[in-house]
A and B are shown apart, each in its own frame.
Chain A
Amino acid sequence: AQSVTQLGSHVSVSEGALVLLRCNYSSSVPPYLFWYVQYPNQGLQLLLKYTSAATLVKGINGFEAEFKKSETSFHLTKPSAHMSDAAEYFCAVFTGRRALTFGSGTRLQVQP
């Protein structure tokens, strides 16, 4: 079965610092991978997705993620954190005919 693991339930960075949120996947077939963001009291919205077209995927709000098959990873990065990036981030994998399987989430805090 396909699954994702997010390392670190909480990450804290200073404003302007690099953001790195980790996601590793387990899949016996080439996966489709996603990052979603949940701002306080809101539903989830798509940040970016990997569909095998390119290993480096750029998303909204300056985020990007790189698919690394050798490391089974799809880590999310942003060069410079902004206060508005404070949210919970979910990595997800598409599991065939079914819907997405989500990781447990990483809450990002941005310190001034």
Chain B
Amino acid sequence: DADVTQTPRNRITKTGKRIMLECSQTKGHDRMYWYRQDPGLGLRLIYYSFDVKDINKGEISDGYSVSRQAQAKFSLSLESAIPNQTALYFCATSGPGTTDTQYFGPGTRLTVL
């Protein structure tokens, strides 16, 4: 089984709809992250969480919110989706060390019409 799972894998939604992307990990790590990937821009950090009570905004958090329901679960919500949020979204987890490897999920492809 995969260490990091994301649901759904693909989602098409309409402008203005609320949508939640879910992430679960079995690595037992405290740190979890949400990134979005756009062609030519690499990955950009949306939110990160160092434990259940420690949630921080990344460089592009506007329009997004997160919930850390448990050590293993970290959800990303788009309260009112807009077309420029169409992207590939990745969840990741890592250990506590500065150079600890980040383990990525397979991604969720989100299309906002």
A78 CB to closest chain B CB, in angstroms? 20
Whether B99 contacts A51 by the Cβ 8 Å rule is yes
Complex partner residue of A46 from B4, B48, B101, CB under 8 angstroms: B101
Interface size class of B (residues with CB under 8 A): 20 to 34
Whether A43 contacts B98 by the Cβ 8 Å rule is no
Tell me if B33 is interfacial: C-beta within 8 Å of chain A: yes
Known: A41-B106, A102-B42. 18 other contacts (CB 8 A): A32-B99, A43-B4, A43-B90, A43-B104, A43-B106, A44-B43, A46-B102, A51-B99, A90-B43, A94-B99, A98-B45, A98-B48, A98-B58, A102-B35, A104-B40, A104-B41, A105-B40, A105-B42
The residues of A with any CB-CB pair to B shorter than 8 Å are: 6, 9, 32, 36, 41-46, 49, 51, 90, 94, 98-105
Q: What are 6 A-B pairs at a CB distance below 8 A?
A: A42-B107, A43-B104, A43-B107, A94-B98, A99-B48, A99-B92
